[in-house]
Chains A and B, each alone.
Chain A
């Protein structure tokens, strides 16, 4: 038995942006279904983190100054109007969580709305969404979008992994509007909380006709203890770093330690200590970030007195800035009725060529989710669900191999693993990602094009839920890797997160965004004035 639902708005993804989108759509009077790949409440990179939000009081001069300062660092690719919008929407929206989150009070007795602990934040958002009548489908990854004959989105299809294992149960949701909020693509790095962030939404949207933007800005990295996932940068603000001979590594006094540490890690092991953290902060660290000390305690390491080995985890597009291009101020993609919220969307509009970090990206998730949810609800109210119309499934690679029956295909789980490993081999090594050069990028792109052909032609997922989800993840990882690599090759300069060893200077002639897209044939092109994302 499959599950078939009709609704006004379908949200794909139940992390920060997806939850806010669901709440906004429901508050606007829409019937809402939210399908999460995992469990809405623990899914997504925010649930394991502790986000701050870009938080500027409604004083016109202070807000204008915040936008000016941030735009000056965006290297020409941001849009100050979008920055002003997310500051305002975040300020007005975040306090509505107060019924579900036990905010700390500041000295003046004002709730501390902007800085929240991840597990409690997502637990609160789930309760908030449920209280507004959102129907949540947990462990229900979407696999493909459904499209009307006119190209507008009509819903999605997926499977419920925990219903009737091992096969699972298929679901189909028809909806007037769909919000994709599947997060950034972390390329299966060990970034905390990112295992599900395999670019599924990027692929589904691209299959439906969406374009991407800024995929070359996919190089953000975060420090963690060598075999740990705890990529929590606040504590590492106090870190000192050493090579295997005990010599201190000069990180240049810049808060961004990625480049010097990556160079050192390419040469050998690197060690850190948090000895400079003041004793009063050491004492309360478990109450600030309860998870960060777990790996240390469990290995008998005292990070405040001892040196421990570290690594850098790549974040792909999570705290990179690339993602689905937005066609209007409602966060609609190039596909009518399909909206993108949070890290799956490009954040160039608010961050430009450098990372939005935690605070800006969280404000983006709240705001883009809210706008997308409201717009999808308006669409449902206006045009309606179009339930009687025939629709087509848009999915390809990882769902329907082009090599027909009778062809001997490799075992799906073996092939999926190979694809995982080979994408990681192109997208995670520091020398390929942080120190980019044209010949290496060209070679990577050829490899990835081969992988795409394999995924498209041979990846036959079989009947079991886990294999079906993984096959689709493998196809999505390959697709995102190709857009990111093609973008990196096309941008023959260094700008912000994108560093080219063979073109180290910023080129004023390339102060434009790069769009990308395509499946069998990947393309990259400068965003022209005609298609630039304008706010009315």
Chain B
């Protein structure tokens, strides 16, 4: 579930509020979004994909909230990984979309 909004990175664009499929976030009074309904988070990571400031962190645990250390996460290089690997925004052209090779995964697994 989503655990962190990095207010020092957030530009206050509220794109995450708009695009979250389960309406987890709300525009906050301080200009940055707040996590208003964490229990509705479906751990789909799509908020991270749409966040051009890499200001959101979704913990992989979908069952229970977990404690995460913001400084450790910020230093980990994990922020923005989904967006980079997907080649979105400024990463366009730098990480090719190889989804079409999905069929090869199944085929080669079967041919073991």
Contacts and interface: CB of A to CB of B under 8 A. Distances in A.
B9 interface: no
A238 B102 CA distance: 13
A286 B99 contact: no
Interface string B62-104: 1110000000000000100110011000000001111111111
A115 B100 CA distance: 5
A198 to B, nearest CB: 11
A73 interface: no
A297 B81 CA distance: 10
Interface residues of A, number: 56
Contact of B82 (A161, A192, A281, A291): A291
Given A42-B46, A193-B44, A195-B42, A287 B98 contact: yes
A383 interface: no
B105 A235 contact: yes
Contacts of B101: 281, 284, 288
Given A115-B102, A165-B26, A288-B105, A227 B21 contact: no
Contacts of B26: 165
A294 B82 contact: yes
A39 B20 contact: yes
Contacts of A196: 21-22, 42
Contacts of B62: 190, 227-229
A276 B85 contact: no
A486 B38 CA distance: 34
Given A48-B46, A193-B44, A228-B43, A237 B110 contact: yes
Contacts, number: 146
Interface string B32-71: 0000010011111110011000000011111110000000
Given A42-B21, A294-B82, A115 B46 contact: no
Nearest to B68: A298
Given A38-B22, A138-B18, A297-B78, A291 B97 contact: no
Contact of B109 (A102, A227, A276, A298): A276
B23 interface: yes
A162 B22 CA distance: 11
A137 interface: no
A255 B107 CA distance: 11
A52 B102 contact: yes
Given A42-B20, A48-B46, A115-B99, A278 B61 contact: no
Nearest to A236: B109
Interface in A120-152: 120, 138-139
Nearest to B17: A162
Given A119-B46, A237-B105, A288-B102, A43 B21 contact: yes
Nearest to B108: A278
A286 B85 contact: yes
Nearest to B61: A227
Interface string A274-302: 00111001001011111100110111000
B96 A287 contact: yes
Contacts of A536: none
A347 to B, nearest CB: 21
Given A165-B26, A228-B62, A288 B98 contact: yes
Nearest to A274: B109
B81 A294 contact: yes
Nearest to B96: A287
A50 interface: yes
A316 to B, nearest CB: 14
Contacts of B106: 234, 237
Among A116, A227, A278, A297, the one with the most B-chain Cβ atoms within 10 Å of its Cβ is: A227
Interface in A8-49: 38-39, 41-44, 47-48
Given A39-B21, A193-B21, A299-B60, A281 B105 contact: yes
A229 B98 contact: no
A368 B106 CA distance: 27
Contacts of A228: 43, 60-62
Among A42, A139, A289, the one with the most B-chain Cβ atoms within 10 Å of its Cβ is: A42
Given A39-B18, A117-B86, A195-B41, 14 more contacts: A38-B20, A38-B21, A50-B99, A104-B98, A119-B86, A227-B63, A235-B105, A237-B105, A281-B105, A284-B101, A288-B105, A290-B85, A290-B86, A294-B58
29 contacts: A38-B22, A41-B19, A43-B21, A48-B44, A102-B97, A104-B99, A115-B100, A115-B103, A117-B97, A117-B99, A119-B46, A119-B86, A162-B18, A190-B43, A195-B42, A196-B22, A229-B43, A234-B102, A237-B109, A237-B110, A284-B101, A287-B98, A288-B101, A290-B82, A291-B44, A294-B60, A297-B78, A297-B81, A466-B37
Instruction: Give the 8 A-B residue pairs with the shortest CB-CB distance, closest first.
Output: A295-B60, A237-B109, A38-B21, A195-B42, A290-B85, A287-B98, A286-B85, A112-B100
